[in-house]
Structure 1
C-alpha cells in the first residue's frame, strides 16, 4: 500500500520511553497506517478506519 502523503504522529504518552513507540497516520482516505518510530522507513501495517477504531476502543477498556 502506498502511504505517500501520510502524516505520522506519535502518542502524547510516548515521551516516557525516549520517543520509541508506534506512529499512526490517519490522514489518508480509507486507510490508517501504523509503523515503528524506530524504523520509519521499515514496514507499516495498514487497517481500515473501522478496524483501527475498534482496536483503539478495545485497548481503552483494558
Structure 2
C-alpha cells in the first residue's frame, strides 16, 4: 500500500491529506496526518494471523 502525505491549500487555512492508494483522509495539521500515517504503517507491518475457523476452511 502506498501512503502519501500532502499539504492542501484551502481558503480557510492549510489542511493535510494522507492518501492510501485511492482513499484519502484529511487532517487539520501536519502532526495529525503524520501520526495517522505512522499508526497505519505500524499496523500494516504488524504480524497477522487468521482466526482458527478461517484457517480450517482454507485447508
Tell me if both proteins adopt one fold, taking TM over 0.5 as the criterion.
no
TM-score range (shorter-chain normalised) is 0.3 to 0.5
Compute the TM-score of the two structures, normalised by the length of structure 2.
0.35
Higher CA-based Rg: 2
